Structure formats: C-alpha cells, structure tokens
Amino acid sequence: MVKAKKEKPSYIAWLSSMRFALNLLIGIGVITALGTLVPQGQDPIFYLDHYGEMLGQIIVALSMHKFYQAWWFQLLIGILCFTLLICAYQRLRKAATIKSAGSLLFHLAIAVILVGAAWSLGYAHSAAVEISVGDKISLSPHGFKDGELTLASFNIDYYPDFQPRQYTSDLSLTHYDGRDYQQLVYVNNPLRAGNLKIYQSSWGWIMNLKDVSQAVPQTIKIKNHGKYQLDDTKMVVLGAVFLPDYAEDNKRVFSRTPLPNNPHIGLTLYQAGRLIDAAIIAPGQEAELGAYRFVFEGFTYYSGLQLKYDPGVNLVFLGFGLLLLGLMARYWQLIFPGKGG
C-alpha cells in the first residue's frame, strides 16, 4: 500500500489509501446488491402499484428502477475509476517486481474496462430488424452506415423431440463500408463487420394472402399470430395463425409438428373487436370471410436479427486481457510456488 507522504494533499492520501479502496469495494458491493432487489426497467406506474405511494415515489425519484443507469451509480463508478487511476499513478514508480507490476496492471485494467464501457454507453447503437426469406433491407434507416442486408434462407434444426437445436440465417451484408460479407449466422455465431455485429435473435412465419374481393386484388403479408387492418373506418381486422403441420381431432385443430408438412392458415375476421367469421385453408385455396375473399398464396420464415454497432467493446476486451495478465503476474508464484516467477 502507498503510505501517505507528508507533503501530499490529505484527500489524495485518503483516496489512495488501502482502507478507502476496501470501503469503496464493500460500498459498491452493497449498493449493487440493493439494485437487484428492485425489479428493473418497469414503468413508473408499476412501482406505485406494487410498493405503495410513498416507497414507489422514492424508487422513481431516485431512478432505482433504472438503478445501474442512474447518475449517482455512474458517479460511484466514476469515483472508482478515478481512485484506480490515482493509485496507479502513485504506484508507478514502485512497480519494480513482477508482482507489483502485475498488481498495477490489474488495477489499471479495471479502469480500461470502465472506460471501454463508458465509450459503449455513449456511442453504441443497436436495433432489432425482421427480414423475410428472399428480402433485402437497407441499414441506414435503422441508424447505421449504408449497407444492404439480404436473407437468402432461414433454417431451424430440431432435436428428435422437436426442441430447437439451432436457428440459422444465411445472410449477406453488401456495400457496407466498401465491403461485402456473407455468412451463416446462428445463435452464438454473429456476423462481424468491423464494429457492427449481427445476431440471430428470433424468428417466425410470415404468410402471403391475396385479397381477391377488391377490384384490384391486393397482396397482404401477415405474420403468424399477427393482425392486419382491412378497413379503418369500419374497424375490420384480419387475424392469421399458421398451422405448419395441420391436423384436427373432434375437439380442436392443431399442428402435429413445427415442420411445414401440411401447411394451413387459420384466418379470423373481427369487426370492432368482435369475431365475425373464421376459416382454415391450404395454399392455393380461397376462403370467404364476411364480405372478403382471400387466397392463401404462400408462406415463408422471417428471421429476427439484432444489429449492434459498438466501438467500445474492443477496449473492454483488451481490458479483460490486461486484467488476466496482471492477475497472473501478481499471483503466479503464490499459486505455483517453485515454478516460474
């Protein structure tokens, strides 16, 4: 530990004392723990309902529902970072042995990670997109640099009991920063394009219908369990459910498996929230619902992708590396006495 020299301002000595570090660590631990007691990220109403008027208002006023984003929490982390840097600066001259250099590196690495995290907080950007098989979307409307994303195919791999094993999107990203990328993206294997990463995050079925009751037949794209507004003024809404492996018994209709072995669509027509008609049809067939007639033209998957641009994450990972390096240098001899060091 650094002994306070007489000529140093006393608050610096205090900040850089081992006792302060200890209290800071315990304090951060306790405060961080408090944050997990309050459910995070709900609407303010939620807290007033669940915690009563008074406690609810305190929680919202102190941003305890956004605990780790609250200014006072970030200030605490800021103090930690500042302290680490002061300590590191003071110990710089004393880092003469591998052990002390390791300890120094370890403490500095924590600061590096925090700086990387702050960078991400300021400059990272993410968005969720959904893209149907065969479709192409532009990235710029979602707040990223120009580029086009195309989904060539999407596939779900199942275990024998039809639990999902893997979801895979065959993606290409073109004209992004002057480069083209093509990759199978699946869970645990995102596409990387510089600081942009594209993740497999969800999926679903999307169906094509043709409304042939109109003078000019109209194509309708509707997601499984989705709704489509047919007539605003009369409040007519179409609902659709996809039954990939349609079957029925005397009680209900259902899907035997998640595979499209016997695809059908279940259509429901609502007016002002009331069910007025329903039908189940196969591809190519036509259904009459109320005053409408629909042809089920086809179906495909859509893939839900998470896009994230994050310039800070590399610094964080560098910090991780330094942290481990520092720990190894500090403790190698202790853990493996007699070897190395």
Partner 1 sequence: MESQLLTLSFILLVLVVATNLARLWHPHIFLSKISSLLLYLALLSLVSTLGFRIMGANRVPFANMYEFTIIFVCMVLLVALFIRTSHPSPLFDLAVALLLTVLLSVASSLPSELRPLMPALQSNWLHAHVATAVIAYACFALAFCLGFLYLLQANLPAADLMSIDEKIYKLVVLGFTLLTLVIITGAIWAEEVWGNWWSWDPKETWSLITWTVYAAYLHARRTREWKGRKSAWLVVTGFIVVLFTLFGVSILLPGLHSYV
Interface ranges with ligand HEM (CB under 6 A): 1-2, 16, 18, 20-21, 24-25, 83-84, 87, 100, 103, 107, 110
d(CA 284, CA 124) in angstroms, rounded, equals 46
β-pairing, 179-186 with 274-281?
Answer: unpaired
CB-nearer residue toward ligand HEM: 2 or 133: 2
Q: Let me know: does 262 contact 246? Beta carbons within 8 Å.
A: yes
The two tokens of residue 250 are: 């005397």
Q: Is 1 in the site for partner 1 (CB under 8 A)?
A: yes
Look at residue 100 and give the partner it binds from partner 1, ligand HEM, none, a contact being a CB closer than 5 to 8 Å depending on partner kind: ligand HEM
How much of the chain is helix, strand and coil, in % rounded to 5?
35, 40, 25
d(CA 3, CA 15) in angstroms, rounded, equals 12
User: Least distance to partner 1 from the beta carbon of 188, Å?
Assistant: 4
Q: Is 201 in the site for partner 1 (CB under 8 A)?
A: yes
CB-nearer residue toward ligand HEM: 22 or 235: 22
Q: Let me know: does 42 contact 64? Beta carbons within 8 Å.
A: no
CB-nearer residue toward partner 1: 204 or 283: 204
Q: Candidates 230-238, 274-282, 291-299, 319-327: pick the segment binding partner 1 (CB under 8 A).
A: 319-327
Q: Let me know: does 306 contact 144? Beta carbons within 8 Å.
A: no
Residues 6+ away with beta carbon under 8 Å from 212: 286, 293, 294, 295
Among 57, 63, 100, 126, binds partner 1 (CB under 8 A): 126
User: Least distance to ligand HEM from the beta carbon of 19, Å?
Assistant: 9
Q: Is 11 in the site for partner 1 (CB under 8 A)?
A: no
d(CA 194, CA 212) in angstroms, rounded, equals 47
Residue among 61, 64, 62, 58 nearest 33 (CA): 64
Look at residue 121 and give the partner it binds from partner 1, ligand HEM, none, a contact being a CB closer than 5 to 8 Å depending on partner kind: none
Look at residue 324 and give the partner it binds from partner 1, ligand HEM, none, a contact being a CB closer than 5 to 8 Å depending on partner kind: partner 1
Look at residue 197 and give the partner it binds from ligand HEM, partner 1, none, a contact being a CB closer than 5 to 8 Å depending on partner kind: partner 1
Look at residue 306 and give the partner it binds from partner 1, ligand HEM, none, a contact being a CB closer than 5 to 8 Å depending on partner kind: partner 1
Among 32, 100, 183, 268, binds partner 1 (CB under 8 A): 32
Residues 6+ away with beta carbon under 8 Å from 7: none
d(CA 30, CA 143) in angstroms, rounded, equals 38
d(CA 247, CA 225) in angstroms, rounded, equals 18
Stated as kind and residue range, the H or E segment containing 55 is helix 44-61
Look at residue 335 and give the partner it binds from partner 1, ligand HEM, none, a contact being a CB closer than 5 to 8 Å depending on partner kind: partner 1
Q: Let me know: does 229 contact 237? Beta carbons within 8 Å.
A: yes
Residues 161-200 vs partner 1: string with x where CB under 8 A? x-xxxxx------------------xxxxx------x-x-
User: Least distance to partner 1 from the beta carbon of 157, Å?
Assistant: 9
CB-nearer residue toward partner 1: 87 or 222: 87
Which amino acid is located at 240 in the chain?
A: A
Look at residue 84 and give the partner it binds from partner 1, ligand HEM, none, a contact being a CB closer than 5 to 8 Å depending on partner kind: ligand HEM
Q: Which residues pair with 155 in a beta bridge?
A: 168
Q: Which residues bind partner 1 (CB under 8 A)?
A: 1, 18-19, 21-22, 25-26, 28-29, 32-33, 35-36, 40, 67-68, 117, 126, 159, 161, 163-167, 186-190, 197, 199, 201, 306, 308, 313, 316-317, 320, 323-324, 327-328, 331, 334-335
